[in-house]
Amino acid sequence: MSRKAGRKQEKRRSIGFIGLIWRLGLVGILMLVAWTIYLDVQVTSRFEDHRWEIPSRVYAQPLELYAGAPVGAAALAQELEALGYQPVSGAPRDAGQFQRQGGRFRIRTRGFHFPDGREPARNLRVTADSGTITGFEAPGETALARLEPRRIASIYPGHGEDRVLVQLDDQPELFRETLLTVEDRGFPSHYGVEPSAIARAFIANLQAGRVVQGGSTLTQQLVKNFWLSSEQTYWRKFNEAIMAILLEARYSKEAILEAYMNEAYLGQSGTRAIHGFGLASRFYFAKPFSELELHETALLVGMVRGPGYYNPRTRPEQARARRDLVLELLADRGLITESRATSLKRRTLDVAAAPDEDTHRYPAFMDLVREHLSRDYRDEDLETAGLRIFTTLDPRLQATAESRASGMMAALEQGQEAGTLEGAVVITGRESGEVEALVGGRDTRFPGFNRAMNASRPIGSLVKPATYLTALEKPARYTLISPLKDERFRLEFDNGDTWSPANFSGESHGQVPLHRALSHSYNQASVRLGLNLGVPAVTETLQRLGMEDEPPQYPSLLLGSVEMTPLEVARMYQTIASGGFRVPLRSIRSVTTPEGEVLSRYDLRMEQVVEPGPMHLLHYAMQEVMREGTGSSVYNLIPERLHTAGKTGTTNEGRDSWFAGFTGDHLGVVWVGGDDYDATTLTGGSGALQIWGRIMADSSTRAFSPVVPGSVDYHWVDSKTGGITAKGCDGARRIPFIQGSEPQEEVPCSDGMGNRIQRWFQQVF
């Protein structure tokens, strides 16, 4: 081949190669354009439609402050501390601060959006003395103020992410400047990527032979968190850069920054991932994002690089060094003075005590909340829609119930194997039916078997008020002084079995008035009465009071062989405590959207199922239980002025110790026993009542003073004969009767001091 032909062939090959390169380049450009369009669709669709899966927030009752409120100085200080209020030496200037001088408080509250409207931030002056607020001052005509409610739990999605959404308007001092100083100084001017930073990272990665350094801008970090994985590959970095440019082209810097504030990963709490500065400020400092001080902001911003390595609770030295470095950077840029940076570096980390894992703080109560919510909401809504759930829990009463129950169960074991005794407590508002405290077992943080809701045990003598109420609803046959026979007897059944109930003491008492048979819990008299009325009649009363399932129609029902959970007992006794009105137990007051729109309101509902007259007579007898019957030991624990009413219950060999009773404030049901049904030495009075009394001593202030219905009259009755007598006579007792059922016979005073005093009064006056 000639040299000329060779040059032509080489030229053709060169042109062909260039053409191939051009065509490949064109294909590459087209592929890049197509891929960019695809990424653009991903960015726009996901960013605009992005909705963080926000767990539902569960709140307790708010503390209400007003003159006369039953709140002491210690309790108020404890509540402010639990809410993350900061004590200050002078007058509080910012929301979330308070000053205390003995029992005098000056408080700058935070605003909060309650279901019934927004509570504004207020300046309060409060004086508390002897467990009561004696002085209250607020701006304007306000006679009452509410602190924001405690957040007691969250209902998380399966992946465990948690966040509290914040807006740019919520930023504390110099937050934006601090974040950009540390993470992306070029953020205001770049278009999603920083070429110089990428170049530095590229050289470092080439030298290491792998990806060891990133040149990511704040926008690229957001892209990675939103759409991409954390794997260190060039392909992921390439996609990250393209998407960052597209994101900057589509959206404002403010929208990107706000998204970053809510997405940044800042730590872990058990299975819960802490995302965003809003939640991090609460998790590490127990305060809202807007209330962060500059040294606290510096710590959180510094933690972005490595939340685990700079965790202030587990690695305080590293956290402090990182915070101080951030403060130095602020001073270097002239954002703060050197002297202020030095002063802030002297501050401690000021990290709050590690909060309890939300889901384990009140596990028993949360079981009840979930059960009630399941009637109206799907799990998906509860885990992702950011609902706000306002419950009936009283944190102060819950703490009292927990400490008293756990402490007394250890004391009541009386030589038994340690840890064998278990228990449950249900406390409700006496009139409202709101569940204010719930203890599911001795270990109050254990999210396992909830005895308050799930432990069905024989209720013993707690069943007796239903028998006596059934009788008192028949005033033509029974009154409180109707004689009942308390003697041994035997029943024979068709199959040849026999049953002979006996009193707890083993003794019989002959003929006793009806009110004494109940107050002293005489088994023989109670069974005789129940059999005369008929077991079906007593069952019907039990179901009216709130028992949902129909129990077996056996005579043993009359001594409480029926099994119920403490919550079911509370449902039944709630009707008694509220004066014959069946009031459904509630754990939730309302549910709202994150913006405050009310979705559900669970208002008080009631249905009268017992007439006022017979119920008033039953209340009289149940107060007698506490004055002189099986519950009388309670007045060693609480003041007599509370005039409590209740009933003890004990099952065979002390396997179950029960008490159900109420003051003017609360109804309480307590069960104590062993999970293995072993015998104990406890009775209702020596076991469950001791826990109940200590709880009420710490939490009740109102006496139970039932209103006398118009259908009831009180008369003085001679205890021996049952006839109407005079007030000053020996053995005279003032007893209520439904009108027309009172004794017709009048008897003079029997001989004795009372008779002589009466005659003396008659002679003198």
pLDDT tens-place string over residues 364-381: 999 999 999 988 887 877
Report the chain's C-alpha Rg in angstroms. Answer: 36
User: Hunting for tokens 């602190």 — which residue is that?
Assistant: 147
- Pick from 97-101, 559-563, 595-599: least confident: 595-599
Among 200-214, 270-284, 380-394, 428-442, top mean pLDDT goes to 428-442
Q: What is the dihedral of CA 462, 468, 473, 474, to 10 degrees?
A: 160
Beta-bridge partner residues of 495: none
* DSSP H helical ranges for 423-546: 451-454, 464-472, 514-519, 523-533, 535-545
Q: Which of 235, 241, 239 is nearest to 217 (CA)?
A: 241
> What integer pLDDT is reported at residue 496 of this predicted model?
77
How many angstroms separate the CA atoms of 734 and 720, rounded?
13
> What integer pLDDT is reported at residue 374 of this predicted model?
87
How many angstroms separate the CA atoms of 541 and 97, rounded?
54
For 186-260, the fitting CATH number among 3.40.50.11900, 3.40.630.10, 3.40.50.2300, 1.10.3810.10 is 1.10.3810.10
Measured from the Cβ of residue 349, the count of other Cβ atoms closer than 10 Å reads 16
Is the pLDDT at 656 greater than 60? The verdict is: yes
Q: Which of 374, 344, 392 is nearest to 584 (CA)?
A: 392
Superfamily of domain 460-561: DD-peptidase/beta-lactamase superfamily (3.40.710.10)
Q: Which residue has the higher pLDDT, 219 or 620?
A: 620
Contact (Cβ atoms closer than 8 angstroms) between residue 463 and residue 559: yes
> What integer pLDDT is reported at residue 8 of this predicted model?
59
Work out the burial of residue 495: count CB atoms within 10 Å of its CB; fewer than 13 is exposed, 13-18 middle, 19 or more buried.
Answer: exposed
> What integer pLDDT is reported at residue 208 of this predicted model?
52
For residue 683, give the amino acid letter: T
484 CB-side CA count, 13 A: 30
pLDDT digits 0-9 by tens, 565-618: 999 999 999 999 999 999 999 999 999 988 888 998 988 889 999 999 999 999
Is the pLDDT at 492 greater than 90? The verdict is: no
Structure tokens at 248: 């900057």
Contact (Cβ atoms closer than 8 angstroms) between residue 211 and residue 231: no
- pLDDT band of 752, cuts 50, 70, 90: very low
Is the pLDDT at 211 greater than 50? The verdict is: no
Domain residue spans of the chain: 62-148, 186-260, 460-561, 712-764
Instruction: Using alpha carbons only, give the angle 633, 68, 96 rounded to the nearest 5 degrees.
Output: 110
> What integer pLDDT is reported at residue 54 of this predicted model?
75
Is the pLDDT at 153 greater than 80? The verdict is: yes
> What integer pLDDT is reported at residue 2 of this predicted model?
61
Superfamily of domain 62-148: Penicillin-binding protein 1b domain (3.30.2060.10)
> What integer pLDDT is reported at residue 183 of this predicted model?
86
> What integer pLDDT is reported at residue 45 of this predicted model?
58
Contact (Cβ atoms closer than 8 angstroms) between residue 619 and residue 706: yes
Work out the burial of residue 681: count CB atoms within 10 Å of its CB; fewer than 13 is exposed, 13-18 middle, 19 or more buried.
Answer: middle
Is the pLDDT at 97 greater than 90? The verdict is: yes
Q: Which residue has the higher pLDDT, 256 or 470?
A: 470
Distinct helix (H) and strand (E) counts, the chain? 24, 32
How many angstroms separate the CA atoms of 374 and 116, rounded?
23
Structure tokens at 49: 């439609």
* DSSP H helical ranges for 307-421: 316-332, 338-345, 358-361, 363-373, 379-384, 395-412
> What integer pLDDT is reported at residue 697 of this predicted model?
94
Mean per-residue pLDDT for 115-126?
Answer: 92
Measured from the Cβ of residue 671, the count of other Cβ atoms closer than 10 Å reads 29
Measured from the Cβ of residue 488, the count of other Cβ atoms closer than 10 Å reads 11
> What integer pLDDT is reported at residue 24 of this predicted model?
59
How many angstroms separate the CA atoms of 719 and 743, rounded?
12
- The SS3 of residue 475 is coil
- Pick from 43-52, 530-539, 656-665, 694-703: least confident: 43-52
Quick one: angle between helices 535-545 and 566-577, nearest 10? 90
How many angstroms separate the CA atoms of 378 and 371, rounded?
11
> What integer pLDDT is reported at residue 338 of this predicted model?
94
**What residues act catalytically?**
183, 461
Mean per-residue pLDDT for 85-110?
Answer: 93
How many angstroms separate the CA atoms of 4 and 275, rounded?
72
pLDDT digits 0-9 by tens, 636-651: 999 999 999 999 999 9
How many angstroms separate the CA atoms of 741 and 749, rounded?
22
- The length of the chain, given as a count of residues: 765
Beta-bridge partner residues of 732: 718
DSSP track, 169-214:
GG--TTHHHHHHHHH-TTTTT-SS--HHHHHHHHHHHHHHTS----
How many angstroms separate the CA atoms of 112 and 663, rounded?
32
Q: Which residues contact 458 (CB under 8 A, 6 or more apart)?
A: 560, 561, 562, 563, 651, 655, 656
**387: phi > 0 → left, psi -120 to 50 → alpha, else beta; which?**
beta
pTM for the full predicted model: 0.82
Q: Which of 109, 120, 112 is nearest to 149 (CA)?
A: 112
Beta-bridge partner residues of 104: 101, 127
Is the pLDDT at 123 greater than 60? The verdict is: yes
- Pick from 13-17, 120-124, 550-554, 586-590: least confident: 13-17
DSSP track, 40-62:
HHHHHHHHHH----BPEEEE-PP
Q: Which residues contact 181 (CB under 8 A, 6 or more apart)?
A: 326, 329, 330, 333, 335
- pLDDT band of 337, cuts 50, 70, 90: very high
- Provide the 8-state DSSP code for 442: S
Q: What is the dihedral of CA 128, 129, 132, 133, to 10 degrees?
A: -30
Quick one: angle between helices 688-699 and 395-412, nearest 10? 150
